[in-house]
Amino acid sequence: AVGKGVVIGLGGGALLSLLKSLAPEFFWTAVELDRGVVDIAQQHFGFKADEKVEVVVGDGLALRCAREGGQDRLNHAGSTLLPSSQNVIMIDVDSKDASVGMSCPPIVFLGQAYLCTLRDLLVEGGVLAVNVSARDPALLKMAAGRLQQVFTTVWVGGEDGEEGEALNVVLFGVKENSTGTEKLDQPMLLQRLQSWCEAVGPPEERV
């Protein structure tokens, strides 16, 4: 099925390239604040935008829901998307403030108003994925708690690190009517990924 997704934070473009390979029927939009990052991804990491992948140089925090009867508007001044239009939204943004103890994402991306906007952009059953890296487990708990204030179902995927090491997890907020919180271990995540890949078909059928 055709779907839409937004990735906030381009980096080297590896995540978008993987998503495009796994789900070529999707239309992806990357929102990257720094034009230099986009240039590096294209010149040194082989990332290419095409008819299925669009790159917008702008602030991911400026994403807004279009008003009724409006339309998508993607530009550096602030992107506006139709409500209930995205199947997946991913946040993969590094923090420049080392004093916080959480290197990804900047805490402002976990603000309740912003998370509510992202939820409103998702279709029913759509997923918000947030890459979280922190040295303090309490910060991971805080990040999960922020999502739980907005999403009725939150999954936590990843492995705990040793004491003093950065802990890296991916938080998944699901827009749905049911409630609950589920702790996903690595085998469960791999099983869900395998099921999703089988659903979109084998690689030779996705070229």
Phi and psi at 77, nearest 5°, equal -80, -15
Q: What is the pLDDT of residue 36?
A: 94
How confident is residue 198, by pLDDT bands cut at 50, 70 and 90? low
Q: What is the pLDDT of residues 19-73, one digit of tens each?
A: 888 888 899 999 999 999 999 999 999 898 898 999 999 899 998 888 766 667 7
Q: Is the peptide bond before 105 cis (omega within 30 degrees of 0)?
A: yes
pLDDT over 60 (residue 199): no
Average the pLDDT over each of 35-39, 69-73, 85-89, 194-198 and give the range with the smallest value. 194-198
3-state secondary structure 141-161: HHHHHHHHCCCCEEEEEEECC
